[in-house]
A and B are shown apart, each in its own frame.
Chain A
Amino acid sequence: MIEINELTKEFRLNKQQRKKMATYAADIKAVNDISLTCQPGRIFSLLGPNGAGKTTTLRMIATILKPSSGSIRVSGMDTQKDAKKVRARIGFLTGTTGLYHRLTPDELVTYFGRLNGMDDSTLERRKQDLFHTLEIFSFSGKRIGELSSGMKQKVSIARTMIHDPEVVVFDEPTAGLDVITAEHIIELIRQCKEDGKTVIFSSHIMSEVDLLCDDLAIIYEGRILYNGTMEAFRSQMQNGSLTKEFIRIVNEAKNLAR
């Protein structure tokens, strides 16, 4: 369970950034007063164009960034007061996540298991399970740098799931991946749902969202434009296609701001 309450994140702008954004403001609100809840056993999708604040929100959930105001609770624990405990319950994966190329899959997954405080026997058992399901065994002793992108993605998944996290955060998980490799991720997200985990993922690809999610929030310039179930979203659509409806909602917000 993830509970986000009136969450805001401000970034200080330097001269260069101000020039680029054509603004005189000293700060920018990357995330502006958002509240939402992600339930266990359901897939929550954060949908928005580039620069909407998706990554910032997910990074705050993963405790990499600290909120400027508001709060986030993961499995009932505050991300600021209990950051360490929160991190132990979270799996975090992005489409651009890299791996240590000079380690083998076996060494890498063991390393992350240890960093997550797992004891040796649990770690070994869990690793065997994951390597079996993901079919990693055939290349578990090779250097990661020598693996294909599909194999690397499998290792990435094993790294994310090694400590059996209750909450899994995916930041544009299929960005930059080919269809076959992306399929591993889609499979993983489905599996997480079946296992009763809380899943939140960000995307700007409507078809992916359509395929997977149960709940949906559309975010634009740090604000939430829509927050509800996928079913409710479909029933109130003014356009025939989800993509068109997404564009309409974002454009409406754009025009309102002018």
Chain B
Amino acid sequence: MKEIWNIAKKEFKETLRDKRTLLVMIVVPLLLFPVIFTIVSDIQRNSAEEAMQKELRVGVINKSQSGEILSHLRVKDNMRIISMEENAPYRQYIRADSLDATLVFPGDFISKIDGMGTAQIRMYYQSTNEGVEERISLLVEKYSERVRNNRLADLGISKEVIEPVQLEKVDIATLQEKIGKYAGGLIPYVFIIFCFIGAMYPAIDLFTGEKERGTIETILTTPVRRIHILTGKMFVVVATGIISALLAIAGLFVGLNFAEALPAQIMEVAGDILQIKFIMLLLTMLIPLTIFFAGILIPISIYAKSFKEAQSIITPINILVILPGVVGMMPGIELDIQTAFIPVINIALATKDIVAGTIDYGLLGAVYASLILFAVLSVAFSVRYFGGETNILRT
């Protein structure tokens, strides 16, 4: 035990003195969420405010026919009405953004309204120009409503007469469920990636690095047993992966407290994730997963002759870690008895259900069984591989 600790202590010291590892293990995970949140909230605030507050320039053709519809405009509607000739090139104006929309009133608009008919207004606009369609539709809808009510009153008909059935929708899915369904797996998934990336550099540094620098023989000729050397090093590899993930969680916390104007959905999910109970539960899954990652990364790092070779083997494996997470995000993929046994996917799916509060405890058990099984297998493989004399001295 003392030997393992000696090894681990020294490896920690070395790892913390490596700028590259520090960057990947501490700086990146800590800053990720605050940076994302700042960008998201900036964009969110700017585009939403702009769309609603910007003055709309609306071209109107046949303004004399528009009747009361435009006279009800208020200052807060913030629309500038520009009366135009019928043959004006209004389509071009809209394309060139000098107009936001053009309303064309037919010659019989007022008579249709007065004669209880349906009058048509044609609106030209660009759907890519956010908020335009909504704001004008609202205006027309309000006017239409007013005319309808007047007509009903004139005819002595109550509103209920023309609305025989009303469907009242009651959505009993909690907000938590809705969000959990779509986003609950996403944030924990980021932690999974950090477990992998955080473990990657130390794994290469602690094994391939020893070969590359020619230090492996010096440690193998000490009386420390090989299994103890491996355990000490593996401990550091796993710990750095977990530390990276924890720092990402800390970053999430900091980001939430400092970023303003985040979409409510993100705040809600993040709030659920930041509960101590959820973090603990997540950790119990991330630890065996990171041990599994280490069990894969270490034999590769033992095999590789140089840092470069190790990286070129590990890079495609990166995709293998990212891909299952993407699959887990897809709608229709649920935690079941098959997906519960696939590493990475199972955590993404299980956390989704946990956030939504719909986790099946039997399946959660299967997830743990699978995580532990894979961890044990990969560690056993590492132990065997580290013991093989030709692997470790391969140059």
On A, residues with C-beta under 8 Å from B are: 11-12, 59, 62-66, 84-85, 87-88, 90, 92, 94, 96-103, 107, 111-112, 114-117, 143, 159
Contact at B215–A98, with CB atoms within 8 Å?
yes
Minimum CB distance partner of A61 in chain B: B221
Q: How distant is B12 from chain A, measured CB to nearest CB, in Å? A: 11
Contact at A84–B223, with CB atoms within 8 Å?
yes
Whether, in the assembled complex, B3 has its beta carbon less than 8 Å from a beta carbon of chain A, the answer is: yes
Counting contact residues on chain B (CB < 8 A from A), the size range is: 20 to 34
**How far, in angstroms, from A100 to B214 measured CA to CA in the complex?**
9
Contact at B14–A63, with CB atoms within 8 Å?
no
Contact at A84–B18, with CB atoms within 8 Å?
no
**How far, in angstroms, from A51 to B385 measured CA to CA in the complex?**
25
Contacts of A59 in B (CB 8 A): 217, 393
Contact at B389–A92, with CB atoms within 8 Å?
no
Contact at B213–A64, with CB atoms within 8 Å?
no
Given A102-B17, A107-B13, A114-B6, do A159 and B221 touch, yes or no (CB 8 Å)?
no
Contacts of A88 in B (CB 8 A): 223
Question: Which of B13, B213, B221 interacts with A63 by CB under 8 Å?
Answer: B221
Contacts of B6 in A (CB 8 A): 111, 114-115
Question: Which of B215, B218, B223, B389 interacts with A117 by CB under 8 Å?
Answer: B223
Contact at B215–A99, with CB atoms within 8 Å?
yes
Contact at B221–A101, with CB atoms within 8 Å?
no
Whether, in the assembled complex, B142 has its beta carbon less than 8 Å from a beta carbon of chain A, the answer is: no
20 new A-B contacts, CB < 8 A, other than A59-B217, A90-B221, A115-B223, are A11-B390, A84-B225, A85-B223, A92-B217, A94-B217, A96-B214, A97-B218, A98-B213, A98-B214, A98-B215, A98-B218, A101-B213, A102-B17, A102-B18, A103-B13, A103-B14, A107-B13, A114-B6, A115-B6, A116-B222
Contact at B14–A87, with CB atoms within 8 Å?
no
Whether, in the assembled complex, B327 has its beta carbon less than 8 Å from a beta carbon of chain A, the answer is: no
CB contacts under 8 Å to A, within B10-39, are 10, 13-14, 17-18
Whether, in the assembled complex, B320 has its beta carbon less than 8 Å from a beta carbon of chain A, the answer is: no
Given A98-B214, A107-B13, do A66 and B219 touch, yes or no (CB 8 Å)?
no
Minimum CB distance partner of B10 in chain A: A111
**How far, in angstroms, from A103 to B16 measured CA to CA in the complex?**
11
In the A-B complex, the 10 residue pairs with the closest CB atoms: A98-B214, A98-B213, A115-B222, A102-B17, A92-B221, A88-B223, A87-B223, A98-B215, A102-B14, A62-B221
